[in-house]
Copies of this chain bind each other. A is one copy, B any other.
Amino acid sequence: MSKGLPKRSEDYSLWYNELVKRADLAENSAVRGCMVIKPYGFSIWEKMQAELDRMFKETGHTNAYFPLFIPKSYLSKEASHVEGFAKECAVVTHYRLKNAEDGSGVIVDPEAKLEEELIVRPTSETVIWSTYKNWIQSYRDLPLLINQWANVVRWEMRTRLFLRTAEFLWQEGHTAHATAEEAKAETLQMMQVYAQFAEEFMALPVIRGRKTENERFAGADDTLCIEAMMQDGKALQAGTSHFLGQNFAKAFDVKFATKEGGLDYVWGTSWGVSTRLMGALIMAHSDDNGLVLPPKLAPNQVVIVPIYRGEAELEAISEKAKEIMMALRSKGISVKFDDRDTHKPGWKFAEYELKGVPVRIAMGPRDLENGTIEIARRDTLTKETFQLSEMPVEEKISSLLEEIQKSIFEKALSFRKEMTTEVNSWEEFQQVLDQKGGFVSAHWDGTSETEDKIKELTKATIRCIPLDRKEESGACVFSGKPSEGRVYFAKAY
Contact = CB atoms under 8 A, between A and B. Distances in A.
B29 A127 contact: yes
13 contacts: A27-B134, A30-B127, A31-B69, A31-B71, A31-B127, A36-B64, A67-B167, A68-B120, A73-B105, A86-B99, A88-B96, A91-B97, A151-B151
A352 B318 CA distance: 54
Given A46-B63, A69-B90, A91-B97, 15 more contacts: A27-B134, A30-B127, A30-B130, A39-B146, A42-B64, A43-B63, A68-B167, A75-B97, A76-B105, A76-B106, A88-B96, A90-B118, A91-B96, A96-B155, A97-B119
Contacts of A150: 151
A38 interface: yes
Contacts of A120: 68, 92, 120
Contacts of A63: 39, 42-43, 46
A64 B41 CA distance: 8
Contact of A82 (B36, B86, B92, B106): B106
A293 interface: no
A179 to B, nearest CB: 19
A73 B105 CA distance: 7
A34 interface: yes
A93 interface: yes
Nearest to A93: B93
A411 interface: no
A176 to B, nearest CB: 13
A350 interface: no
A337 interface: no
A36 B153 contact: no
B64 A39 contact: yes
Q: How many copies does the complex hold?
A: 2
Contacts of A73: 105
A87 interface: yes
A35 interface: yes
Q: Closest 4 A-B residue pairs measured CB to CB?
A: A34-B67, A37-B65, A39-B62, A91-B94
A68 B127 contact: no
Interface of A: 27, 29-31, 34-39, 42-43, 46, 62-76, 82, 86-99, 105-106, 108, 117-120, 127, 130-131, 134, 140, 146, 150-151, 153, 155, 167, 169, 342
A32 to B, nearest CB: 9
Given A92-B120, A108-B91, A42 B70 contact: no
Given A36-B64, A66-B36, A68-B151, A31 B118 contact: yes
Contacts of A94: 90-91, 93
A89 B96 contact: yes
Nearest to A35: B67
A119 to B, nearest CB: 7
A63 B86 CA distance: 32
A92 B92 contact: yes
Given A29-B131, A30-B130, A140-B342, A64 B37 contact: yes
Nearest to A148: B42
A388 B113 CA distance: 66
Contacts of A155: 95-96
B153 A68 contact: yes
A408 B241 CA distance: 44
A159 B63 CA distance: 24
Contacts of A72: 97, 105-106, 108
Given A67-B31, A67-B34, A91 B88 contact: no
A218 to B, nearest CB: 13
Contacts of A37: 64-65
A65 B92 contact: no
A437 to B, nearest CB: 32
Given A34-B69, A151-B68, A97 B92 contact: no
Contacts of A88: 95-96
Nearest to A76: B105
Contacts of A36: 64-67, 131
Among A134, A155, A342, the most chain B Cβ lie within 10 Å of the Cβ of: A155
Contacts of A38: 64
